[in-house]
Structure 1
């Protein structure tokens, strides 16, 4: 048998028995009539066979690793134990031949055009309601029909983005399952899938000639920028609900990929009828909002008063043509499955055409005949709310009591429900245990409005069910995704998302300097948390090393030093009572407390908890990190959230701390080498330096302000110098005479030691002086004044004075440390007040509703 014949009949090991697994569903690869694979799939099958089973499995694992390291995730609704789940990618793409795609693209553009016309009519003349093409009860019962959005400016009501889910029925007929017009998600995931696939299968991608996605995203940029024709270079922001959104990765990814600022509602404010971005540099006007937030949450003043995610007054700014939102507010009404039965007649009326791809059969229960049909055929149908997304109930899975309860619920408010045919989706080949097996599949397509119509992404996001008997293929249920390859008759040209710009001799870098206040605050806290983690890890490592030495051959002095360090650890981390409690137990048996401080993610002030806070702050500014930096962040998260497979003992804890310090230092180095050293970096580093000062002061105050036995004090100094990464420097610099005076000189007053207090306060002053400020007068502002106080106090201090003993205390040292701590704490508060809040949050006093005639 020839290779071609073997591939056609799927007689190879990879696809052995694939045809025998076919059920009643249409398969995207296998022809039941001919008993062989479809012709356009054969080159891919040959290529996968050539790779080999082991290499194919390795590449599959590599795909999951790349997705995890790149932070690609999706929050799974039913998973209460995890914050998010790593995105799953099947390494066998879905193939669509060029001829099929041409027809599908035309049908999708027709549907997007139709929905655009419906949207403008519903919030304008409402001719479709007046003529009975859309029942009034269906429209006004939908909570996503937002009456305040009536009669907005025409440019503010155009549908910029459209998406829909598609699948074939058993006879191969393509059906539209649902429409996405509010915040169509998935394009960013489709792009990430493509990037991973082209990395894993570069030769296959070129040989098969697949359409690239870059032109689509260039079109997205161009379409968004043209929404405000009067601005040559409009400021565009991506509005996200925040890190708790199930698709936050995509929001951050698209913002970074397209070059826009990622903002949350509290980053924006409406003033004088315009929308402003609250940035470190002050308020900057926003022209276009690419929203990923449900429309009802966008303006708590006029829409949902309970929303804490939106911008009060946003709708009024739209009315005054000061901002454009894509997609328009109110577009969520188009997602209602209740519209589907009426689309054929609407298409005839508005377009004079039949729908080129029909919708899945749907019956709105607000009509008597349709209601009776739904009630009579309930076990065969899927019941959905006309307003609630993710509300589908697959009735075939219900028992008699559940069916009776659902039937009663529908009868009480029939106009709020639709019944849909339970379509048997087509299947697509999916790599399961290194063998191709059919799985139910749904493809999501994406379109963007252009000056001439709608342009479709030459690809899409295909999702498949995990199990053979499962009809759940959504990401919300933890489905598997696929890249979608549209086969091309000729090689695509290599295009960039950013078109080439002709140099005019002038360059405006204002956009580079804008840093949203929320992002600025998160960067500041990234710096504080990463430094808190490092200081905690280093002290824990020193404590464990001393504990090992003391257990082996320590004397009373070693034990006394260890006890002081343990108590200092509790003080520095704030994990009271800890080692400050019953000294006779924990101090002599510290293992359990140390293990808790290192591994317990719920222990406030412990290392794992602080690292989790660092990861969460870093995730909030996901769009600002380079790929390498993000991989290090992911490594930190993975290291301290993985299951504890190995035995937990002092050795394993010490190893964990070594790894933690290495990852932390890798992050600091990568961030410093990949971020521009502008205000973003300055705030991160200011946060680090402030935290290092405060942690260092706590440690030195507890350990050195009271005198100890000379041997104990010597051991303490060595431990402190080791914790501060200064022991080697101290030994080399002061070979003849090592004392508390030389240690304080190095740790507090030496401006060349990157670990010293002096180095920190001088660096803080340098970066604080570089921050933007509104004070144009000659005198210092509060932050500069506090920096000057700290640096002056350090400059005039002398180690010989600080070691002076009064009774059993070093009072000068304690006074010095207290003064610096008060000054740096005041500086942190002043920075927060000045740079991290520009306007007060609005509070709803009364509900505003715009009354309009139905």
Structure 2
């Protein structure tokens, strides 16, 4: 299939710069058939449309919050995942060979893993050097002798493969400890299918869903045999981890709980998850925490990521891990030179996929070869060290650096291997509007299935950030590609396995994890805090702007009260309450801008925005795509407002902020399917609304400021609480203090009234799990009932009586003060009941000493 003029134009920058094996063209310069179909669709779309679609693609990834945290990068967790719109295409025939080789390799590594921690035949028979295993940081002596109850010890496996200049496929790395990337592969596919549906209509691309169906089934099958409905969790290091997006994505996609180490505990030789309903047994853990961090009791003692006592539960066979602890020994690159002999020993098979030519320096002859040819090799340590790079391209080193490296190898030769340096194949990539060559590496994913392994019909393809770069790494700024296995026939939608066609409700409670519940609770509180503060700040600014050229003393008095209330409302003291600071009252804009923009100002809007985003990110698996899109758009808008000194723009920004929060709150009601999650989020909102309502009442209306100022106070109060229209509709008269109190304190039909909020809290609390006797009221329930009772029996006539001398509504202030004290205690009691799990102390001996 010789290139036509159009194709030569499309790929001219690729063909002219392509230095290595060509993934697009064969030796005769003809385009491979599986690329031909892609090219035809590309020509149909045209350059301009493809460029526009690429912009939509990158925007979609950003809105969906697809991130990869590059350590040390200024953007940190906000760095958006990079996806090349041109996929990596692989012919199905070639894929079948690769797939067979990967399955063979996974099976071989499983046998090695079981032997290393079991009978040790490989070392006893001299097939593997003992130094290679026991000097590796990934070998955990604490795991030796632990029996394997499942057919496979290695549940999940991933391999990095690449093509050398001669066209052969080589395995570069084995990933066995906590293989990552499958979630990114699925997200890449979903994004590409949404933005470029034409390609999937014409190009015969294999689907990825079968892998994830098998993953679900396998996780269920490896649970302890006593449980037919296992509780499965995904253990993550937390939001600061580089692949945290994938952790939350997979937990949501698979329908399992996302947990951190402190969400779990060991008791009675079982692992338990802390939930708002109490402790629940955990049967299976997908771990994304490195081996040595998983159990601070027996492994790394200063780890805060693991579960103390986890190893003992594993020994007892009461929990299964994917992958088991100790699997990182299989990532030892020193194993590579020995794999063929090991395969001959265990199976008598030749490796279908060879590994790069490698020499372990722990052997004299191999050491001599590496030292003699050092400048042409890649030197790797047998385990990754956080302090130093695990791979060194010796050809790039200066003479003094080469000498230093040689001395390091001579000192501890068993820690190093030398590897042949190859130039990876190049693939067409969309770089700055041009199709250029980039070095490519493909990561595959396999899962144990019925005594064999199933490989994902695709994977995560990564390309170098620069055409000349030898390093392909996300941490080094590499890009990703969707991987298409091109079938000869049109693929059909996979049929769901029988056990997935009629899903049954789990028999366990599946209650909300306590940390998740706490974050949802605080998301609710921060959401309403932001919404209320923004509304009141907008009302104050509009009042100041509305004053004309003729300003009365009443206007100045009202403005002073409104500004002072802003400080009380946001709790940003001293602010406008500092009566000695006359300048801040005369020119309030510096303080207002600071309340809006200063992220370090506790209680300010930007600070609260930062806090809600942090809490929301910690439970991102609970948000729908639309909800998360609102959050990301909201975050992006705030990041763009570094300086804001215009009153009109300030009000516009407040309007946008209010709209975003209303949309976020509204979507939560539709999207959070877990009942208790919604109850706690909405409870957080209702508590915050109640406290803020009381605070504003006490700040604005506890004193009679005179007819004119009092009217302004009441109007601002109603407007800020979204009740001005409701007031006018209900009473059809000018604003009066008794009616304002009736509407905002006692009218249960007004959704913004205090009684309505408290009654809703009472219902929410009744629906939350009972930790003890189902008929016994918890203290937070008693507090709400007490607040409702006090409010209902209040004498309304007395409340509107003001002191003749001080003009204060003392009875009203006393009522509000008492209610504020009671309601302020509710969050503490909720936390103590649902979010804390302190174990009762047991005295080990008794003493007769007085």
Q: How does 1:590-605 map to 2 (within 5 A)?
A: 590-605=588-603
3-state DSSP of counterpart to 2:12: coil
Go from structure 1 to structure 2 and tell me whether the alpha carbon gap of 1:777 and 1:41 turns closer, same or farther (over 3 Å shift). Answer: closer
Pairwise mapping of residues 300-699 of structure 1 onto structure 2 (< 5 A)? 300-388=296-384, 391-495=390-494, 499=498, 508=505, 510=507, 513-550=510-547, 554-581=551-578, 583-642=581-640, 644=642, 648-676=645-673, 678-699=675-696
Q: Report the equivalent of 1:781.
A: 778
Moved more, 132-141 or 388-397: 388-397
Alignment match, 1:90: 84
Is the contact between residue 2 and residue 31 of structure 2 (CA under 8 Å) also seen in structure 1? no
State the Cα distance separating 1:832 from its structure 2 match: 0.3
Among 264, 281, 284, the alignment partner of 1:285 is 281
- 1:260 maps to which residue? 256
Alpha-carbon contact 1:159-1:331 (below 8 Å) kept = yes
CA contact (8 A) 1:218 1:499 kept: no
1:460, distance to aligned residue in structure 2 (A): 0.7
Query: Closer, same or farther in 2 for the Cα pair 1:512/1:778, shift >3 Å?
Result: closer
1:574 Cα offset (Å): 2.4
CA displacement 1:525-553 (0-9 Å, x = unmatched) = 11011111111111111122122123765
Alignment-derived partner of residue 702 in structure 2: 705
Deviation of the 1:785 alpha carbon = 1.0
Partner of 2:233: 237
CA distance in 2, matches of 1:674, 1:185: 28
SS of residue matched to 1:653: helix
1:794 corresponds in structure 2 to 791
State how far apart, in whole Å, the 1-side matches of 2:819 and 2:259 are: 36
TM-score under structure 1 length normalisation? 0.94
Q: 1:269 to 1:64 in 2, by over 3 A?
A: same
Determine if contact 1:214/1:496 at 8 Å carries over to the other structure.
no
Which secondary structure does the structure 2 equivalent of 1:471 belong to? coil
Q: Distance in 2 between matches of 1:376 and 1:700?
A: 83
SS of 1:30's partner is: coil
Q: Which is worse superposed, 548-557 or 707-716? A: 548-557
Kindly indicate whether the alpha-carbon contact (under 8 Å) linking 2:711 and 2:735 is maintained by their aligned counterparts in 1.
no
Conserved in 2, the CA contact under 8 Å of 1:189 and 1:461?
yes
Which residue of structure 2 lines up, in the alignment, with residue 299 of structure 1? 295
CA contact (8 A) 2:597 2:642 kept: no
- Could you tell me which runs of 5 or more consecutive residues in structure 2 were left unpaired when the two chains were aligned: 842-850
Q: Does 1:200 align with 2:195?
A: yes
Shift in Å at residue 841 of structure 1? 11
Distance in 1 between residues matched to 2:383 and 2:707, nearest whole Å: 76
1:298 and 1:311 in contact (8 A); partners too: yes
In 2 relative to 1, CA 87–496 (structure 1 residues): closer, same or farther, beyond 3 Å?
Answer: farther
Aligned twin of 1:102: 96
Q: How many residues were matched structurally?
A: 833
Equivalent-residue separation in structure 2 for 1:358 and 1:245 (angstroms):
33
Residues 782-826 of structure 1 show CA distances to partners (whole Å, capped at 9, x for unaligned) of 122111111111111244322322342322122111111111121
Q: Of 126, 129, 139, which aligns to 1:132?
A: 126
Structure 1 residue 151: deviation in Å?
A: 1.1
* CA deviation vs aligned residue, 1:303-325 (integer Å, no higher than 9, x gap): 11111111111111111111111
User: Which shifted more, 223-232 or 552-561?
Assistant: 552-561
1:185 to partner: Cα distance: 0.4
Among candidates 148, 155, 160, match of residue 165 of structure 1: 160
- The equivalent residue for 1:741 is 738
In structure 2, the partner of 1:816 is 815
TM superposition score normalised by structure 2: 0.94
Judging changes above 3 Å, is the alpha-carbon distance between structure 1 residues 414 and 572 closer, same or farther for their aligned structure 2 residues?
farther
Shift of 1:63: 1.0
Shift of 1:407: 3.7
Once residues 549 and 90 of structure 1 are traced to their aligned partners in structure 2, the CA distance between those partners, rounded to angstroms, is 52
Shift of 1:462: 0.3
Partners of 1:520 and 1:321 in 2: how far apart? 30
- C-alpha distance 730-282 of structure 1, shift in aligned 2 (>3 A): same
CA distance in 2, matches of 1:500, 1:648: 60
> Any gaps of 5 or more consecutive residues in structure 1?
843-854
Conserved? CA contact 2:229–2:506, under 8 Å: no
When residues 814 and 436 of structure 1 are mapped into structure 2, their CA distance, relative to the original with a 3 A threshold, is same
